[in-house]
């Protein structure tokens, strides 16, 4: 059993110089109102920050001070860019200042690459604040104009929170096969693996990894479904890197996904580099369940049934075993506490074991999501048990 901690990435642009939405933070005694947004660079990478309270800037209250600023993520840029992908950027029209908007209208805001639905009617004269800025406004009447739905199609695999998905269609809504895109990232920790989750209809993956000005390796894992799979292909893949990538390395990955069935769209929920932590073995004590959000409502008088089709997620209960001489239970508990409350990749398959146990490769035992109900029990001087429950985000 291993944890894999994901690292944020983005879709590579066509090389244009970025046109940032927000101004650089100034240390020169500037007055910042509550809700003001600025950008600030750490190790050469700009992120946006929103002021939590009114203040006058100085070296003490720089955006790295969480008492004064909230980190909004990588700095937003304006539209007009080209991106290295053959899929549609979004299925919805771009938000435009000054346009009349009706309730439930969906627009994409390329400032943060998200899609928003109008929660109310917005007259053309009032529609001057972009959805990405409106939802973080301290003014309630502005913040309630729009509702975040999901990340735009081409950026969906880089979002870990809304469970949005990349769909393999182009700007004309035609199927594309293969799906191609290039991701870019600067590693925030050591990267041992590249993983994908939430795949549908993918039979082959090719990932060409470039850094330090040269192609370092190309990953091309074999995707093997069960013997009788009825066209259902594995939903996840974890690819070990030949050489770990050090923290702080600028990396690009050219990704190609080939379809199993050319008449069905390719889909992808998440792709990310990650650092892995091998914690325990899972010889037995694993149970997978389907967590359904669909509804079946029966009429009490006539007995007819109304079906409401929705998504589903995976639930998994696991009892794992580990040797405290290899990794201590104290270390495992602190490590799990460190990554509690955030989405991570968890793999409950075993690799080849020193005791001679065979490796396993069950797709249902690879879960991108979160864990709950963790417990550790010292069973013997030579082994202890770890029990936990997990739920997937990518359905």
pLDDT at residue 140 in the model:
86
Cα gap 128→105, rounded to integer Å: 16
Question: For 331-354, how does the pLDDT look when each residue is reduced to its tens digit (9 = 90+)?
Answer: 999 999 999 989 999 999 987 554
How confident is the prediction for the chain on average, in pLDDT?
89
- Domain of 41: which CATH number? 2.10.10
Q: Is residue 36 one of the residues assigned to a domain?
A: yes
Cα gap 351→321, rounded to integer Å: 14
Q: Is residue 15 one of the residues assigned to a domain?
A: no
Cα-Cα-Cα-Cα torsion 111, 116, 120, 126, nearest 10 degrees, comes to 10
Query: Are residues 193 and 121 part of one domain?
Result: no
- Domain of 202: which CATH number? 2.60.120
Which residue bears the tokens 């990232």?
Answer: 185
Backbone phi, psi, residue 164, to 5° = -75, 165
Query: Are residues 176 and 129 part of one domain?
Result: no
pLDDT at residue 169 in the model:
96
Residue 221 has a CB neighbour count (10 Å cut-off) of: 16
Instruction: Choose one of 253, 275, 297: the last residue of a domain.
Output: 275
Q: Do you know the residue count of the chain?
A: 395
19 vs 273: which has the higher pLDDT: 273
Query: How many Å separate Cα 75 from the centre of its chain?
Result: 17
CA atoms within 13 A on the CB side of 20: 15
Query: Are residues 170 and 219 part of one domain?
Result: yes
Averaged over 249-261, what is the pLDDT? Answer: 96
Averaged over 6-33, what is the pLDDT? Answer: 85
47 vs 54: which has the higher pLDDT: 54
Per DSSP bridges, beta strands 366-380 and 305-308 are: unpaired
Cα gap 297→139, rounded to integer Å: 40
pLDDT at residue 17 in the model:
62
Averaged over 248-258, what is the pLDDT? Answer: 96
Cα gap 73→39, rounded to integer Å: 10
With residue 26 as reference, give the H or E element that holds it: none
pLDDT at residue 395 in the model:
65
Query: Are residues 209 and 125 part of one domain?
Result: no
pLDDT at residue 73 in the model:
73
pLDDT at residue 294 in the model:
87
> What is the token pair recorded at 174?
């035609």
Question: For 139-184, how does the pLDDT look when each residue is reduced to its tens digit (9 = 90+)?
Answer: 888 889 999 999 999 999 999 877 789 999 999 999 999 999 999 9
Query: Are residues 290 and 256 part of one domain?
Result: no
Q: Is residue 26 one of the residues assigned to a domain?
A: yes
SS3 82: coil
pLDDT at residue 18 in the model:
62
**Number of domains forming the structure of the chain:** 4
3-state DSSP: the chain helix, strand, coil percent, rounded to 5? 5, 45, 50
> What is the token pair recorded at 200?
């549908």
- What proportion of the chain, given as a percentage, has pLDDT over 90? 61
* 63 contacts: CB under 8 Å, gap ≥ 6: 25, 38, 40, 47, 49, 69, 71
Instruction: Choose one of 221, 241, 275: the last residue of a domain.
Output: 275
> What is the token pair recorded at 384?
């202890």
SS3 391: strand
Structural domain of 192: 164-275
Query: Are residues 291 and 271 part of one domain?
Result: no
Query: Are residues 231 and 189 part of one domain?
Result: yes
- What proportion of the chain, given as a percentage, has pLDDT over 70? 95
* Range among 35-39, 69-73, 198-202, 228-232 rated most confident: 198-202
Query: Are residues 299 and 270 part of one domain?
Result: no
Query: Are residues 311 and 382 part of one domain?
Result: yes
Instruction: Choose one of 275, 300, 324: the last residue of a domain.
Output: 275
Query: Are residues 254 and 183 part of one domain?
Result: yes
Helices (H) and strands (E) in the chain, counts: 3, 26
* 121 contacts: CB under 8 Å, gap ≥ 6: 101, 102, 103
The DSSP-derived string for 167-232 is E-B-TTS-B-SSEEEEEEEE-SS-EEEEEEES-BSEEEEEEEEEETTEEEEEE--B----SS-TT-
Residue 108, pLDDT > 80, answer yes
Residue 394, pLDDT > 80, answer no
**216 closest CA partner among 242, 193, 180:** 242
Cα gap 72→161, rounded to integer Å: 14
The DSSP-derived string for 109-135 is ETTTTEEEEESS-B-TTT--S-HHHHT
pLDDT at residue 356 in the model:
45
Query: Are residues 126 and 33 part of one domain?
Result: no
Q: Is residue 96 one of the residues assigned to a domain?
A: no
Q: Is residue 333 one of the residues assigned to a domain?
A: yes
Residue 113 has a CB neighbour count (10 Å cut-off) of: 24
Contact 368, 343 (CB under 8 A): yes
Which residue bears the tokens 């695999």?
Answer: 157
Q: Is residue 14 one of the residues assigned to a domain?
A: no
Q: Is residue 199 one of the residues assigned to a domain?
A: yes
Query: Are residues 168 and 136 part of one domain?
Result: no
> What is the token pair recorded at 146?
């729009």
């Amino acid at each position: 059993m291993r944890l894999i901690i994901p690292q944020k990435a983005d879709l590579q642009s066509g090389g244009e110089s970025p046109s940032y939405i927000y101004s650089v933070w100034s240390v020169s005694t500037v007055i910042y109102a509550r809700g003001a947004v600025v950008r600030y660079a750490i190790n050469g990478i700009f992120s946006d920050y929103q002021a939590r309270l009114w203040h006058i800037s100085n070296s003490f209250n720089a955006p790295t001070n969480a008492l004064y600023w909230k980190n909004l993520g990588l700095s937003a840029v304006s539209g007009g860019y080209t991106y290295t992908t053959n899929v549609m950027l979004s299925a919805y029209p771009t938000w435009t200042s000054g346009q009349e908007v009706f309730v439930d209208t969906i627009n994409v805001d390329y400032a943060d690459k998200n899609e928003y639905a109008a929660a109310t009617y917005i007259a053309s004269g009032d529609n001057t604040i972009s959805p990405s800025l409106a939802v973080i406004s301290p003014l309630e009447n502005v913040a309630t104009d729009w509702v975040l739905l999901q990340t735009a199609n081409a950026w969906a695999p880089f979002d870990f929170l809304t469970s949005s998905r990349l769909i393999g269609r182009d700007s004309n809504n035609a199927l594309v096969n293969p799906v191609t895109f290039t991701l870019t990232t600067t590693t925030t920790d050591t990267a041992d693996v590249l993983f994908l989750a939430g795949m549908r209809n993918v039979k082959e993956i090719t990932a060409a990894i470039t850094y330090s000005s040269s192609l370092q390796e190309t990953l091309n894992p074999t995707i093997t479904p069960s013997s009788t799979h009825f066209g259902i292909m594995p939903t996840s893949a974890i690819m070990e890197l030949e050489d770990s990538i050090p923290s702080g390395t600028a990396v690009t990955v050219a990704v190609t996904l080939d379809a199993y069935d050319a008449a069905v769209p390719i889909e992808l929920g998440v792709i990310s580099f990650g650092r892995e932590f091998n914690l325990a073995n899972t010889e037995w004590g694993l149970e997978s369940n389907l967590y359904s959000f669909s509804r079946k409502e029966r009429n009490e008088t006539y007995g007819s049934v109304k079906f409401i089709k929705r998504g589903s997620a995976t639930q998994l209960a696991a009892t794992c075993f580990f040797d405290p001489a290899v990794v201590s239970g104290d270390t495992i508990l602190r490590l799990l506490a460190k990554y509690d409350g955030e989405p991570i990749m968890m793999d409950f398959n075993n690799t080849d074991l020193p005791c001679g146990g065979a490796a396993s490769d069950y797709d249902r035992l690879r879960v991108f999501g979160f864990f709950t109900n963790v417990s550790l029990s010292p069973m013997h001087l030579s082994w202890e048990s770890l029990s936990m429950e997990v739920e997937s985000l990518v359905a």
